[in-house]
Each structure stands twice: as C-alpha cells, then as structure tokens.
Structure 1
Amino acid sequence: MPRPVHFEIHATDPERAITFYTAVFEWSFERSGPEPYWLVTTGEGPGIDGGLAQREGPMPDPDASVNAFPLTIEVSDLDMLTREVEQAGGTVVSAKRPITGLGWIAYCRDTEGNLFGVLQPDPSVE
C-alpha cells in the first residue's frame, strides 16, 4: 500500500519561508542540488521529512482558496500510477521529471483540486 514519504513546501520567497519554519517549528534546511531546493528535516522519531522549492508561477490568492504544501506518496510504477489518477478523474499537472540521486516525481490533482506528489524511487537517476 503506497504511503506518504515526503512533503513539499512551495515558496515565492524561499529564504523567508526557511526563516518562518525554523522559527516556528525549529526545522532545519539544507540546500540540495543546482535547483533552488532545500531538504527539510523536521526532527527525530516518527514522522516524515520534506523539501522546500521555489514556487513556479504566481503566489495563490490566500483569500480565494485554501493553499497548502503537497504531500508526496512513494509508488513502485509512476507511469502506471499517473494513468490510474487520470482514469479515476484526477489530473496530472506536472509531468514526470527526474530528481538526481532520488528518483522520478510527478504532481497530480485529485477530483477536488488537491495537489499531491508521487515519487518512484530510483537512486540511479541523474
């Protein structure tokens, strides 16, 4: 059964977001790779860690809708999973792309418009 393994925060101003999450939750951030991306460590014990990315596109209007950071679910076959998302009435909003040393990721929306990530691990990805 696929389980959540990662969350991701998209930020218009990543440094401002890092300052916020460090002050409020004492999370730590480490820059990862050439893209503006940081790994987020949320603490010890049960739970999951995540990432912080430069937002692609304009900042959502906070008064118009709920804005959230996406949860990522580990899957064994990303291509099959994205087909199943579409067959179930969801949409693929960001096509499969590589994450060096980690695997392949895509972003989807469910039938209610909620964004989530799906990750197929593959450490050989460059």
Structure 2
Amino acid sequence: MARCQHEAVPTNLSHFAINADDVPASRAFYETVFGWRFTAWGPPGFYQIQTGPDDEPGVQGALQQRRTLLPGQVTTGLECTFAVEDVDAVARAVRAAGGTILMDRFTISGVGHLIFFGDPAGNAVGAMQYDPEAE
C-alpha cells in the first residue's frame, strides 16, 4: 500500500445522517425514542437534527431521503462525516491509502466543502472542510 505525503491530523465526528425511505416515519420514530428535535433545512424532506438540549446540542445530524453513495448499494446505517482542515489533502490521502472517492468535492454554500469516500472495508465516509464563506 502506497504511503502519501499527507500528515494525518486527528479529526472529530462532526455530522451524521440517517437515510430513510419514509422520512416522516423515521422522524416520528427518533422523536419518540430519543426526543430529538428536527428542523426543515435545504431540499424538501431534509431535516437538521438536534440530538441534545440547547446548552449541549451534541453532534449535528440530518435526516434525509435515502440515497446511494456506493455504486449499486442503497445507503443503510448511519452516514458519518468528519471535520477536516483540507478536504483536497484528505482525498489524496484516501487514494494513496487504498480508498476510493465516491463523491468528488462538493460545495455547500455557507457550510463548506464535502467529499465522500469508500474505505477498504467498503464503508462510505464523509469528510467536510467547514467554511462559512463557501460559495
């Protein structure tokens, strides 16, 4: 396995997403089970999730219509995204370490730059370079 020139920096989980075929049913389920609060944001059927109280809101989450990140496989389970300093350097490191880029750099206006990659075990993982000035 080739080594890359990127020096890995420890990163924290910054976001998770739940993909659902029936978004309203999933919303009702998590409201009942965990007491999470949902706020409509962005495209139809997309909600931001607040997992904790206002003084300790927890990791930011999203509930969204199910999608496909791995070719030919619908996304199941939680989709996790990690905060990174440089999403382009992470993409290079992913390739050098034997992973694959599933979604090239995508800019979310006012949020930052996002990629999704596949690790050698076949998991889809996100990396987000947060930038409130992103356009």
TM tier relative to shorter chain: 0.7 to 0.9
Q: Which runs of 4+ in 1 moved over 6 A?
A: none
Determine the structure 2 residue equivalent to 1:2: 11
SS at match of 1:70: strand
Two-structure CA RMSD over aligned residues (Å): 2.1
Determine the structure 2 residue equivalent to 1:19: 28
Q: 1:43 aligns with which of 46, 52, 58?
A: 52
| Matches of 2:107 and 2:24, distance apart in 1 | 24
What's the CA shift string for 1:45-80, capped at 9, x where partnerless? 37312111222248849xxxxx31111100111111
**Identical aligned pairs, as a percentage?**
35
Q: Is the 8 A contact 2:50 2:58 kept in 1?
A: no
TM-score by length of 2: 0.79
Question: Match for 2:61: what amino acid?
Answer: G
| Matches of 1:34 and 1:125, distance apart in 2 | 18
TM-score by length of 1: 0.84
Structure of larger gyration radius: 2
Structure 2 stretches lacking a partner, 5+ long:
1-9
Q: 1:56 aligns with which of 67, 81, 90?
A: 67
Q: What is the aligned residue count? A: 121
SS at match of 1:20: helix
The yes-or-no answer on 1:81 pairing with 2:90 is: yes
Q: 1:102 aligns with which of 87, 111, 114?
A: 111
Q: 2:43 aligns with which of 27, 34, 58?
A: 34
